[in-house]
Amino acid sequence: MERGLIVFNHVKEAFKAEKVLKASGFQIELTIPPKDMVKGCDLAISFNLNERLAVERALMENGVQYSDIVDVVKVSTKPLDIVKKVDYGDTIMFRCGSMKITIDKRDGIILNISGGGCPDVPYLFLQLVGKKIFEAKNPTSIGYSLCAYSLGKAFEEALKFYENSGRWNSSS
């Protein structure tokens, strides 16, 4: 149930991906794609879904082409991308799933990060808190997990909010 599936256009790409991912230490298996995605001669790779970001990054860094990544159980389900916000006056919190990021509206400084349960969450806290949102790296570029994915969505909304607030030009 926790497995994700990388789907490829070409079997050769799946072989290349297998080599890259195994060399990077991921626990993967070559497998058949979901029934509704089988085209004939297909090969997919299943992996721990919680390592999705890290897997995507390893494939990208090594120039591996793939057509899609799907949840084995819910093929049509994409990760949550809805972001809610709570306005505290001078500060505002953005939340996606269980991940929250709070910024200072005046200068865009990331004041706090909370929620989540994957091990990169405290790491992202240390990397991002205290930095200005428009100068900080997106959590998806330095994190590894689905928590980093959710935090990335909240981060993008926070950045959009700050850029649209009219303070962007004066403080950047």
Partner 1 sequence: MKTLVAGTVPVDKFPYYVGTPSFEGKNLVLGQKVLPIGMGTLSLYSATYLTIAHLKGEPPTLMTVGDVGKADGSRILYQKIAEEIEELKPNVLTLHYVMPIITLVRALALKLQKINPKPIVVADAGFMYAFKASKMGHVCNIFTPDPGEMAFLADKDAVHPAYIERHLFEIDSTSVESLIEKVKDVEGLPKMLVVKGAIDYIVLDGKILFKIDDPMVPYLEPIGGTGDTLTGILTGLIAHGLPLEKAAYYACKINRIAGQLSNPTPKTRVNEIISNIPKAIDLVLKI
Contact set with partner 1 (CB under 8 A): 1-2, 25, 48-51, 54, 71, 73-74, 77, 79-80, 82, 84, 86, 88, 91, 93, 95-100, 102, 104, 111-123, 125-126, 129, 143-150
Task: Quote the least distance from Cβ 41 to partner 1, whole Å.
Answer: 29
> Least distance to partner 1 from the beta carbon of 87, Å?
11
Per the document, the length of the chain is 172
Q: Please state the closest distance from residue 132 (CB atom) to partner 1, in A.
A: 14
CB of 38 to partner 1, least distance (A): 22
Q: Which is nearer to partner 1, 7 or 110 (CB)?
A: 110
Say how far apart CA 34 and CA 31 lie, in whole Å.
9
Could you tell me the smallest distance in angstroms from the CB atom of residue 23 to partner 1? 14
Q: Which is nearer to partner 1, 13 or 99 (CB)?
A: 99
User: Is-contact 147 93, C-beta < 8 A?
Assistant: no
State how far the Cα of 167 lies from the Cα of 115, in Å rounded to an integer: 28
**Chain-centre distance for alpha carbon 8:** 20
Tokens 């590894």 belong to 144
Q: How far apart are CA 28 and CA 15, in angstroms?
A: 12
DSSP 35: G
Count of C-beta atoms within a 10 Å radius of residue 44: 27
Nearer to partner 1, 33 or 143 (CB): 143
- Pull the structure tokens for residue 163: 């850029």
Which CB, 35 or 39, lies closer to partner 1? 35
Q: Which is nearer to partner 1, 104 or 163 (CB)?
A: 104
